[in-house]
Every structure is written in structure tokens, then in C-alpha cells.
Structure 1
Amino acid sequence: MKTNKLLFLSFIFISLGFTAQAQRGARIGYIDMEYILENVPEYQEASTQLEGKVQRWKKDIEKKNKEVEQMKLNLSNERVLLTQELIEEREEEIKILENEIMDYQQDRFGPNGDLMIQRRQLVQPIQDQVFNIVQEIAENKKYDFIFDKSADVVMLFAAERNDISDVVLRSINRAAKREEAKTKREEREIERKEALSAEEEGAVTEREQEIEDRKNEREKMMEERRRQRDSIRNARKAEIEKRRERILRERQARMDSIEKAREQKRKERSQNNDSGNDDNQEE
């Protein structure tokens, strides 16, 4: 089936090659779906969440496999002490658990498992959005053919000037921004950018990037100043705490010394009283 598909696609490309050679006016473009997906924040966030699920599923399988291995080890160690009936029961229990693990793996990672289903659900909305945007670009920019570079179609060469992935990606980001726009001013700014040509938008984007870079540089400087200020403040705080602890130790030492001296005096008075009583008894 896949071979027939590749042959069909090859036939299309050969036909297009002859057509393009006969008609030099044909305009061809392509997109890189993988590149687009990598730069859509919503997709990346959902993909990260899905990856978290995958890791939990793998841990569940690993845990169950360890249980099976432990059961096999226990059976091996206890086999000489068990009757044949008990041995068969243990083996049946292990077999049932192994089948459950296999079913769980198929449910999660099989061709129709949760992973494949959720990946399709994750990609489908963006693919639909890309398809609609490509249709608009093809009509507005007069493209004759637009291909997906990341699909099964084999591209032996693709000039970068024909790559419209960034155009599609900008359209996706604009659609997301339009949904997030909260004021009329923000909506007008988005509409103004949409009206720009690719060259003008590139210039605007470059200026915005310069502004963003300067903003980031100022934030870095402020962060460095805050870090230095916090470092000085922490050093002073540590010094004050150290001085406070030293004062408390010295005060405690003086109090201990006074208490020791008082205790010594009490002992001396007690000894003197005892000595006086002895003298009185002798008289």
C-alpha cells in the first residue's frame, strides 16, 4: 500500500516536473509541518503534558514487570516446598498478570492506543488551521502547488525562498493573538500588522526585536543590580546575625561566670556554717 502511494507521488512529481518545464510561470511552495508544530506554544504545552502521561504509563508498566519478576523469583525459591497444585496456581497467576501487562501496553502504546489517539487529537486542530491558511496563501499569492516537506513526499531539493512555513506560522500566531486581544486598540494593532507585506512585516519584526533586546538587556542589568544589592544585604544580615550570636554567647558566658561565682560563695558559706556548728558541739 505504501509502495503504491510512493509510486503515485513520484508520478505526480514527474508530471509536475514536465509541467514546470513547459510552463515556466508555475509557482511552487512548501511548508515544514514539524517546524510549525515546534513553534506553536499551545502544541508544545499540550505535547509536554502528553509526554508526562507517557512517562507515567511507562512507570506503571515497569512496576508491573517488576512485580511479575518478583513473583517468578519467589516461585523459583519456594518451588521445592510447594505442592504441584500450588505451583500451577502461582504460574497461572503470573500468566494472568503478564497478559494484563500486554493488554495495558496495547491500550496505551498500540496502533489504536491512547498515545496515538491523543497525538492525533493534539495535531489535528493545528493541521486543519494550517490547511485553511495554506488555501488562503495559495489564492492570495497565486501559488500553483504547496507541499508539506515533512510528509512522506521525498524532496531532493527545495529552495529556501519557496518555504512559506514562517508565513503560515505568523498567521497561526496572529489568530491566537486575536483571540487573546482584550481591547480595541490591541485588535487594531493586530489588524495593522496583518495588512503589512512580508517585507514590511520583516522590518517591523526586526525593530520589535531590537526593542525587545534592549528591554531584555535593561532587565538583565536591573536583575544584576538586584542580585548585587541582595548579596550585600545578605552579607550584612549574616554579619549582624554573627555579631548578635557572639554577643549572646558572651552574655551567657558572663551569666554563667556570675552564677558559678555565686554558687562558690554559697558553698563557702555552707562550709563555714558547718565548721561553726562543729566548734559549738566541741565546746
Structure 2
Amino acid sequence: MLKCLKIVFFLLMLASAAQAQKIGFVDSEYILNKHPDYKIVQEELKKQAAAWKKEAQNLENKIKEMYSALKAEEVLLTEDMYKERMEAIRQKEKAASNYNTRVFGINGEYYQKQDELMKPLQSKIFDAIDRVSKRNGIAIMFDKAADLSMIYTDPVHDYSDFVIEELGIDESLETEEAKQDQ
């Protein structure tokens, strides 16, 4: 019981402290999609991923060819020759699996490239959020696009457009591009 009272007291103190603080939120996904550099990053990443996928597909095709050749020559091969070819196929499969893991696995080259390309853009956006927060006296800024669940947000507290403005992104260009795409 005493423990529950302490928790309630703590929550009340936290709530009263929060009332004195100005809180806002941004939607980093919205901001990213408005930023012209994001499209460039996405295209470069897509191009690199396509090259990696093509290489992975080439490895898979080579394995299929090896299996087909083995199947066609199976009756002509000695047991040792068959085992050698199967071992070669297994080695090729292992190499293909290692390639996929190295490129597309956790902390693989794809994610490293994504991080490398996104880091400067994320830094620009974070700096703009920092400036907007300081200029508007925001004590706590949430990101609506993050894993944080926001059940309701009053648009009055949305500072995303201020961040876009801080980044110098001309939204009229964005709407012209959208019209041209249609």
C-alpha cells in the first residue's frame, strides 16, 4: 500500500512538472519525405541494392546450373566424382548464403550503406529540430514516427512544418513535383 502511494505521489509530481514544460512533436517520416536529399539517398540505396540482389541471383543461378549439370551427368559419374560435385555445390551454396548474410543480414553492407547515406541527412534534421525546439521554448519534443505510441496528438503541438521551414525546404517545389509526377 505504501509503495502504491509513493508511485501515485511520484506520478502526480511528474504531472505537475510536465505542466510547466512546453511539449511538442514532429513527424520525422513526414520531414524526411519532404526533404529533396531523401529522394537522392533512396535512389542511390535502391541502385546499390539492385546490384547486390543481381549478384545474389547470379550465385543462385550458378547453383541451379551446377545441380542441372550434375543431374544430367549423374549416370556417368563414379561415386567419388558425384561426391566431389555435390561438395562443390554445397560450397557454392554456403558461399551464396554467406554473401546474403554479409550483404543483407543484420549489420550487413546494405544497412551500413543506408546508415552512411542517411546519417548526414538525419544530422541536418536533428539540428533543425534542435533549433526549432530552442526557438519555441520546447522542453520535450517527441517523434510521432518513432516507436513511441501517440494515441492522440493535437496538431497545435506539431512542429514538423517549422522544421521543414528551418531546413529551407520550399514546399511549393514539392507540390509542383507532385503535379508533374501525375
Q: TM-score range by the shorter chain?
A: 0.7 to 0.9
What are structure 1's unaligned runs of at least 5 residues? 1-13, 178-204, 214-283
Matched, 1:144 2:145: no
SS of 2:25 mapped into structure 1: strand
- How far the C-alpha of 1:150 sits from its partner, in A, is 1.2
- Alpha-carbon RMSD across the aligned residues, in angstroms, is 2.5
Is the contact between residue 22 and residue 140 of structure 2 (CA under 8 Å) also seen in structure 1? yes
Give the structure with the larger helix fraction: 1
Cα distance in structure 1, aligned partners of 2:106 and 2:82: 36
SS of 1:173 mapped into structure 2: coil
Cα distance in structure 1, aligned partners of 2:44 and 2:108: 17
Matched, 1:131 2:126: yes
Partner of 1:262: none
Partner of 1:93: 88
Cα distance in structure 1, aligned partners of 2:127 and 2:146: 18
- How far the C-alpha of 1:134 sits from its partner, in A, is 2.0
Q: Percent identity?
A: 28
Q: Given residue 147 of structure 1, which amino acid in structure 2 is its aligned partner?
A: F
TM-score of the pair, normalised by structure 1: 0.53
Counterpart among 146, 162, 166 of residue 167 in structure 1:
162
Cα distance in structure 1, aligned partners of 2:129 and 2:14: 22
Higher relative contact order (CA 8 A, sep 6+): 2
Is the contact between residue 31 and residue 149 of structure 1 (CA under 8 Å) also seen in structure 2? yes
Partner of 2:69: 74
Q: Given residue 40 of structure 1, which amino acid in structure 2 is its aligned partner?
A: H
Q: Structure 1 residues 44, 18: closer, same or farther in 2, change over 3 A?
A: farther
SS of 1:105 mapped into structure 2: helix
- How far the C-alpha of 1:23 sits from its partner, in A, is 5.7
Larger radius of gyration: 1
Counterpart among 32, 36, 41 of residue 31 in structure 2:
36
- How far the C-alpha of 1:19 sits from its partner, in A, is 3.8
- How far the C-alpha of 1:63 sits from its partner, in A, is 2.0
TM-score of the pair, normalised by structure 2: 0.80
Q: Which runs of at least 4 in structure 1 moved beyond 4 Å after TM superposition? A: 20-23
Post-superposition Cα deviations, 1:27-71, rounded to whole Å, max 9, x if no partner, equal 211111111111111121121111011112112211221221121
Partner of 2:179: none
What are structure 2's unaligned runs of at least 5 residues? 1-9, 177-182
Cα distance in structure 2, aligned partners of 1:23 and 1:45: 40
Task: Figure out how many residues of one structure are paired with residues of the other and give that number.
Answer: 165
